[in-house]
Amino acid sequence: MRGLFCANFASSRMCWTPCRAVWCGTCYVPHPLDRFYKFQPSDEDGFDWRPAEELQRHEHGRDGDHLHTPFQCDLCLFRNLKFRNPLSTDPTDQLLLCCIRRANLDAVWGREPHTVQATLRAVTQLTTQLCHVGLEPALPALGPHPVEDCCGLRVAIAMLLKSLEPGRYHATYQQFETIRKLRAGFSNVYMASVIGSQAMRTVGGDRVKHYLTYSPMQSLWFERFSQGCLRRMGQDVRQDWAITLAAMGALMQCFDRDWEVATTWEQRNEIAVCAAYSVIAFCGSFRGNKVFLVDLAGLRKYWRELEGQEHAIVPLLGRYKGEQHSRYHLVPMAVRTNSGLEVKLWIDRLVRVKEEKGHMQGPAFQDGRGVLVSARWLEGKIMDQL
């Protein structure tokens, strides 16, 4: 039971020799073509002080890995996908073998070393104790496996290949949070397919449900692969910095200064859109994308009805806060906050500049053509001011 054991045998569909491959765990190392990213934690000075055994994580297999994770050797998995043996002269076959080896290593490293050691020790003790009374352990068979991709290996390979593409934060790889979307895409198609929709069963009520499915994305092997891949790649989370009250006040002063010197309608429209968006998002504690739900017709309506009042109403049109109807979600705000942020002033300026061009309906944050501005354009304008 030690080492890594592949228990596949020849199938009636195949003509090659049965596979009974056994490796020493530490001999199962990455393919020579392996250039997949591995996260290396370090302190703020870039110094990595972890022990030597920690540096070898994801770099080899371990004795007993096949006892807790479904394991097939590279050759068997290649045959399951291609229904033939790999060619040593074909670079495509070699790349596929590289991906298979990395997927297998990520899968077995979905469990920590002490868990693998504990499983191996328990199985060894079980076998030894039963041998004392002449009994075999009668453990469940580890093979043979079907000659097909029943564990989601294709999607795992696609995720690994996508990870080699340039990402948003890094020029040499994409993060796990990006590549895992391939799994979600396959799962959605599977549930919409004939086999997926017929086999799916649900447990639960109208609100909370648990789905029973044969999707390979829910297999034990793919769960182990996802865990191991995430642990190997790590997560580089870069949250947006919060805007302080002092910075917000300075930002609105910049917009106010630009408004005073603006000479054309295009300049005033750009300033009013950016400033009104900023003050509504900040004072309403909105997520950035929710501010685009502000409706111009509703803004004009409550702007007139509440003239002279101590508060302003910001109407959001659409689904918000879990609501399923499409009526207004009204958010009251102070005309002027204690910190000096002029909410009503910028709503007035936005409404008036829109009415100059005859824009009476549609999204409040629109360009000169009446089209909703993009978040990228708005972010660029606001960040320039910051």
Residue 216: DSSP 8-state? G
Query: Which backbone phi and psi does 203 adopt, to 5 degrees?
Result: -130, 125
Whether a cis peptide bond, with omega within 30° of 0, leads into 144 is yes
- Asked if residue 290 belongs to a domain, the reply is yes
Tokens of 122: 């328990």
**Contact status, residue 354 vs residue 296, Cβ threshold 8 Å:** yes
216-242 CB burial, b ≥16 within 10 A, e <16? bbebebbbbbbebbbbbbeeeeeeeee
- Asked if residue 180 belongs to a domain, the reply is yes
| Model pLDDT, residue 16 | 44
**Contact status, residue 71 vs residue 6, Cβ threshold 8 Å:** yes
- Asked if residue 240 belongs to a domain, the reply is no
Residues 189 and 302 in one domain: no
Residues 160 and 260 in one domain: no
| Model pLDDT, residue 10 | 42
C-beta neighbour count of 358 within 10 angstroms:
7
Residues 128 and 18 in one domain: yes
Task: State the DSSP string of 127-138.
Answer: HHHHHTTT----
- Asked if residue 255 belongs to a domain, the reply is yes
Q: Of 233, 257, 280, which one is at a domain's C-terminal end?
A: 233
| Model pLDDT, residue 198 | 83
Query: Which backbone phi and psi does 209 adopt, to 5 degrees?
Result: -135, 150
Residues 279 and 136 in one domain: no
Residues 255 and 202 in one domain: no
- Asked if residue 117 belongs to a domain, the reply is yes
Residues 271 and 138 in one domain: no
Q: Of 202, 233, 264, which one is at a domain's C-terminal end?
A: 233
| Model pLDDT, residue 303 | 82
Residues 222 and 359 in one domain: no
C-beta neighbour count of 297 within 10 angstroms:
13
Looking at this protein, which amino acid is placed at residue 157?
I
| Model pLDDT, residue 265 | 92
- Asked if residue 183 belongs to a domain, the reply is yes
Q: Of 233, 255, 280, which one is at a domain's C-terminal end?
A: 233
Residues 140 and 104 in one domain: yes
Residues 249 and 152 in one domain: no
**Contact status, residue 347 vs residue 309, Cβ threshold 8 Å:** no
- Asked if residue 69 belongs to a domain, the reply is yes
Residues 131 and 255 in one domain: no
Residues 195 and 265 in one domain: no
Residues 200 and 334 in one domain: no
Instruction: List the one residue out of 70, 72, 65 whose CA is nearest residue 118.
Output: 65
Kindly give the confidence (pLDDT) of every residue in the chain, 386 residues in length, as a single tens digit, with 9 standing for 90 and above: 567 877 664 443 444 445 656 778 888 999 999 999 998 877 666 677 777 777 889 999 999 999 989 999 999 999 999 999 999 999 999 999 999 999 999 999 999 999 999 999 999 999 999 999 999 888 888 888 889 999 999 999 999 999 999 998 899 999 999 999 999 999 999 989 998 888 777 777 777 777 788 899 999 999 999 999 999 999 888 887 888 999 999 999 999 999 999 999 999 999 999 999 999 999 988 887 888 888 898 888 888 887 778 888 988 887 666 665 567 888 899 989 999 999 999 999 999 999 888 888 888 888 888 888 898 999 999 999 98
- Asked if residue 251 belongs to a domain, the reply is yes
Number of domains the chain contains: 2
Looking at this protein, which amino acid is placed at residue 82?
K
Q: Which structural domain, as residue segments, surrounds residue 178?
A: 4-233
In angstroms, the CA 207 to CA 213 distance is 19
| Model pLDDT, residue 13 | 40
